[in-house]
A and B are shown apart, each in its own frame.
Chain A
Amino acid sequence: MTLVTNDSVILEEPSFARRMWRMLLADKFALCAVIFLIFILILAIIGPSWLGDLATKQNLRGRNAAPFDWERGWVWWMGADALGRPLLARIIVATQNTLMVAAGAVALSAVAGTFLGLIAGFSSPRVNQVIMRLADVIMSFPSLLIAVIVLYILGSSILNLMLVLAITRIPVYLRTTRAEVLEIRERMFVQAARVMGASKNRILFRHILPVVLPTLTTLATLDFAYVMLAESALSFLGIGIQPPEITWGLMISQGRQYLTNAWWLSFWPGLAIILTTMSLNLLSNWLRIALDPVQRWRLEMKGHKNG
């Protein structure tokens, strides 16, 4: 009998980046979302240094100036706030704080939660129990209320805000990671690595983590939107970011008292939040499919039809 295989159906496959790009093209909504998010990201980076002065300079004659006044410079197109500061410029400047708090909180909670989840899923039942109970405690916290109290006691700064939001989100990553680790550690390829004598660290970081990562990426994208909403809620209540710093949530709060005669003060920052969270949701939905080898064909099929 011949020992050489005769069933050489080895499929040629494009690189990862190419593949993702093609799948992105196949989903027009996700593509728009990504373009919008990149745009927002650029604004966040250059915003404060570019328009910082304009956004803070008071102009009492232009108080609550109405939007759509095409005569004036483009920064005035969305109108002005109660101190006559151009809203569009303020929104652009506020992008940085808004994104920074959310990004910081997501990064912190994702790293801490994933790490704890890996440990919980891969160590003795006792350690696992302790970590899970800790997560339960955090989960049964009325999280927003705790945040209110902690910020009240510790004082609110960008860092504290990030920390508080991060702590309340840790269980989300912890639970997901742990559940996945518990499942993956029983898979054959992990057993195979154990049989070869691989160390625990190697198994965790080389074999298990890469398999969990797509799920976590999807989750973090979705959570970014959640944290943004939580931050703006806290800022809205007046215990998040404090003036003169600005975030979109704080801008809504500041506009609230002028609602009846100058709706645009709260409307535009709210729209900015909605568009950003919506883009993140769209991106997350797309990632969920694009990173899942079982579902990927849905996007790739579309891509083929289009191209």
Chain B
Amino acid sequence: MADHLLEVRNLSVEFHTAVGVVKAVRNISYHLDRGETLAILGESGSGKSVSSSAIMNLIDMPPGRISSGEILLDGVDLLTMPAHERRRINGRRVAMIFQDPLSHLNPVYTVGWQIREALTTHGTDAAKAASEALRLLTRVGIPDPERSLSKYPHEFSGGQRQRVMIAMALALRPDLLIADEPTTALDVTVQAEVLALLEELQQETGMAILIITHDLGVVAEVADRVVVMEKGVLVETGTVREVYKNPQHPYTKKLIAAAPGKGDMHAPAARVEPVLSVHDVRKRYGSFEALKGISFDLMPGETMAVVGESGSGKSTLARILLRLDEPDSGKALWKGRDLFTMSPAELYKLRRDLQMVFQDPTQSLNPRMTVYQLISEAWVIHPDILPKARWRERVAELLVQVGLGPEHMGRYPHQFSGGQRQRIAIARALALEPQLIICDEAVSALDVSVQAQVIALLDKLRKEMGIAFIFIAHDLPVVRDFADHVMVMQKGNVVELGTVRDVFETPRQDYTRALLAAGLDPDPDVQAEHRAARLRRAS
């Protein structure tokens, strides 16, 4: 057997929790060579991050416990090594970057200090560390590196923070870089840049990369080989192309099938009288212009997707349409009446027609209310919809309609999975029998396989009940199968507005094209083409 840089053998890790001992990973084995990139692919709860935490000795024990296995780095078992020796490996031979760089950088020290610390901890002298920190920051492409050294993490953008993390991790040229969901919180265009940077650096240093992700697109873009995990078990392994083209395990098949952006596109019906007509809506927060004059029409029973990266103003738009925030100027005519000038009494009536589904169902459902209370609250607030005697019956109906059962009525939100919670949130919105539902990133917090189910549910409701949707997303592929019209936003402006087919197939604006190009395709062959095209454009 060849000598691998890293080899994980029969690793099992368990955690003590309230419900007893949970086996986070069971008997998993994989290996990684120098210069190679291995992706661990899995959804939430798959245990995909556990083995990397074990490599870095980051598992808190208790409640965690490594019950079996070995982790060999160049043939030496890390798990039997004394703690002080393992500490010397961290940062020097194996380094790690994380999903959320803001919370993973110490908020009270400058980034220069934090990069220098990575060096001095392992014996570099202070002067050398200072010059190295400057070189590293320059290398990862932080603008004005000299001044940036004395800035604090909160003064950088999300993408820049991840670059700082990368500079810090690569300070001592480690043999192995572990990247735990490194681009999940980033915009697609920034994600592409960060992944490209990682690849460049890999070519420069010859390090191995272990990338942990839930995103098939990321796998297709960067990985050589992939390991698929489900509920703590390694279900499939192979080269990226093998696994994508010829998946063996049913879970892998399901995961690949669930990737969005492959179905038929909607052909919107002829435009009639709009149910909602928005004119020149503006909003500023202090000196920041969040919305710079937004106008669009929405037809009854139609789905309008609003797509944009962070800071585009898409969520502000949603909040303003729901009067959670007040606009500075502009009009929004709901069936001919201006939403923004309505009295509280009129607004109260309007709430029945206009509902919202939020991004994170964990946070949008009151944790101390049962499912029954959550859904029936709509009728407590609007008592004329339904007599109290019929509440139970109707809650049961709604639960069935969203794919849950009447028996779930007495339970609390935390007893459900993310996808189920979002179904409850949808049932709650339906309780008011609305004509328009605004979905603010309603599926972005969900696993891919669950995402597809929730979108299918929304599409079904649209067809059956004629509800119109404003569907806000940061990701173009997600809206492709679902939207009639797409509105692309950037920095408070509408960049492009058209039918879904026009926007996806013949985008007129550079920004839309850049967004489409930056999106990662789960098919490694398609993604390779994208990459080639991108390189051509760059040169």
Give chain A's interface residues, CB within 8 Å of chain B: 1-5, 7-11, 13, 187-189, 191-199, 202, 206-207, 210-211, 293, 296-297, 300-301, 304
Q: Which residues of B lie under 8 Å from residue A1 when comparing CB positions? A: 452-453, 456
Contact of A191 with B358 at beta-carbon distance under 8 Å, contacts A196-B381, A196-B432 already known: yes
Chain A to chain B: the 4 pairs with minimum beta-carbon distance, closest first: A197-B351, A188-B364, A188-B363, A300-B18
Q: Which residues of B lie under 8 Å from residue A13 when comparing CB positions? A: 412, 415
Is B216 located at the chain interface by the 8 A CB criterion?
Answer: no
Q: How large is the interface on B (under 10, 10 to 19, 20 to 34, 35 or more residues)?
A: 35 or more
CB–CB A3/B377 < 8 A? no
Q: Which residues of B lie under 8 Å from residue A206 when comparing CB positions? A: 377
**A-facing mask of B1-28, CB < 8 A → 1, else 0?**
0000000000000001111100000000
Q: Which residues of A lie under 8 Å from residue B366 when comparing CB positions? A: 189, 193, 207, 210-211
B43 nearest CB neighbor, chain A only: A7
CB–CB A5/B404 < 8 A? yes
Is B460 located at the chain interface by the 8 A CB criterion?
Answer: yes
**Among A11, A192, A293, A300, which residue has its beta carbon within 8 angstroms of that of B367?**
A293
CB–CB B415/A11 < 8 A? yes
Give Cα distance in the complex from A198 to B373, angstroms.
14
CB–CB A188/B18 < 8 A? no
Give Cα distance in the complex from A188 to B368, angstroms.
14
Is B87 located at the chain interface by the 8 A CB criterion?
Answer: no
Selecting from B205-213, B417-425, B489-497, B499-507, the interface stretch reads B417-425
CB–CB B363/A5 < 8 A? no
Shortest distance between the CB of A133 and any CB in chain B (Å): 25
If A7-B450, A191-B364, A193-B366 are given as contacts, then 13 extra A-B residue pairs at C-beta distance below 8 Å, sorted by A number, are A1-B452, A3-B403, A5-B419, A5-B423, A11-B415, A189-B365, A192-B364, A192-B425, A196-B355, A196-B432, A197-B352, A211-B368, A301-B17
Give Cα distance in the complex from A304 to B19, angstroms.
9
Give Cα distance in the complex from A9 to B416, angstroms.
7
Contact of A10 with B348 at beta-carbon distance under 8 Å, contacts A187-B363, A189-B366, A196-B432 already known: no
Give Cα distance in the complex from A192 to B359, angstroms.
11
Contact of A7 with B419 at beta-carbon distance under 8 Å, contacts A1-B452, A189-B364, A196-B378 already known: yes
B416 nearest CB neighbor, chain A only: A10
CB–CB A198/B377 < 8 A? yes
Give Cα distance in the complex from A2 to B453, angstroms.
7
Is B414 located at the chain interface by the 8 A CB criterion?
Answer: yes
CB–CB A3/B460 < 8 A? yes
Number of A-B contacts (CB under 8 A): 104
Interface of chain B, main secondary structure: mixed
Q: Give 13 pairs: A residue, B residue, CB < 8 Å, sorted on A.
A: A1-B453, A1-B456, A3-B456, A3-B460, A7-B417, A189-B367, A192-B428, A195-B356, A197-B352, A199-B381, A211-B366, A293-B414, A301-B63
CB–CB A188/B432 < 8 A? no
Q: Which residues of A lie under 8 Å from residue B453 when comparing CB positions? A: 1-3, 5
Give Cα distance in the complex from A13 to B18, angstroms.
10
Shortest distance between the CB of B134 and any CB in chain A (Å): 39
Shortest distance between the CB of A12 and any CB in chain B (Å): 8
A3 nearest CB neighbor, chain B only: B403
**Among A5, A187, A195, A296, which residue has its beta carbon within 8 angstroms of that of B18?**
A296
Is B408 located at the chain interface by the 8 A CB criterion?
Answer: yes
B62 nearest CB neighbor, chain A only: A301
Q: Which residues of B lie under 8 Å from residue A191 when comparing CB positions? A: 324, 356, 358, 364
Q: Which residues of B lie under 8 Å from residue A11 when comparing CB positions? A: 19, 415
Contact of A198 with B381 at beta-carbon distance under 8 Å, contacts A191-B364, A207-B366 already known: yes
Give Cα distance in the complex from A304 to B17, angstroms.
9
Is B322 located at the chain interface by the 8 A CB criterion?
Answer: yes
Interface residues of B in 362-411 (CB under 8 A from A): 363-368, 377-378, 380-382, 403-404, 408, 411
Q: Which residues of A lie under 8 Å from residue B368 when comparing CB positions? A: 210-211
Shortest distance between the CB of B377 and any CB in chain A (Å): 7
Q: Which residues of B lie under 8 Å from residue A187 when comparing CB positions? A: 363
Shortest distance between the CB of A9 and any CB in chain B (Å): 6
Q: Which residues of B lie under 8 Å from residue A199 when comparing CB positions? A: 381
Q: Which residues of A lie under 8 Å from residue B381 when comparing CB positions? A: 196-199, 202
CB–CB A3/B457 < 8 A? yes
A195 nearest CB neighbor, chain B only: B356
Q: Which residues of A lie under 8 Å from residue B425 when comparing CB positions? A: 192
CB–CB B415/A195 < 8 A? no
**Among A7, A195, A293, which residue has its beta carbon within 8 angstroms of that of B324?**
A195
Give Cα distance in the complex from A6 to B6, angstroms.
36
**Among A195, A198, A207, which residue has its beta carbon within 8 angstroms of that of B322?**
A195
A11 nearest CB neighbor, chain B only: B415
Q: Which residues of A lie under 8 Å from residue B324 when comparing CB positions? A: 191, 194-195
B347 nearest CB neighbor, chain A only: A197
**Among B360, B404, B457, which residue has its beta carbon within 8 angstroms of that of A188?**
B360
CB–CB B18/A193 < 8 A? no
Give Cα distance in the complex from A187 to B348, angstroms.
21
Q: Which residues of A lie under 8 Å from residue B347 when comparing CB positions? A: 197
CB–CB B358/A188 < 8 A? yes
CB–CB B358/A192 < 8 A? yes
Give Cα distance in the complex from A1 to B263, angstroms.
12
Give Cα distance in the complex from A199 to B383, angstroms.
13
Shortest distance between the CB of A155 and any CB in chain B (Å): 45
Interface residues of B in 206-227 (CB under 8 A from A): none
Shortest distance between the CB of A7 and any CB in chain B (Å): 5
Give Cα distance in the complex from A195 to B438, angstroms.
11
Q: Which residues of A lie under 8 Å from residue B417 when comparing CB positions? A: 5, 7-9
Shortest distance between the CB of B62 and any CB in chain A (Å): 8
Q: Which residues of B lie under 8 Å from residue A189 when comparing CB positions? A: 363-367
Give Cα distance in the complex from A304 to B18, angstroms.
8
> In this complex, which of A3, A11, A188, A202 has the most chain B Cβ atoms within 10 angstroms of its Cβ?
A188
Give Cα distance in the complex from A293 to B413, angstroms.
13
**Among A7, A10, A300, A301, which residue has its beta carbon within 8 angstroms of that of B415?**
A10
Q: Which residues of B lie under 8 Å from residue A5 when comparing CB positions? A: 403-404, 417, 419-420, 423, 453
Q: Which residues of B lie under 8 Å from residue A7 when comparing CB positions? A: 417, 419-420, 450
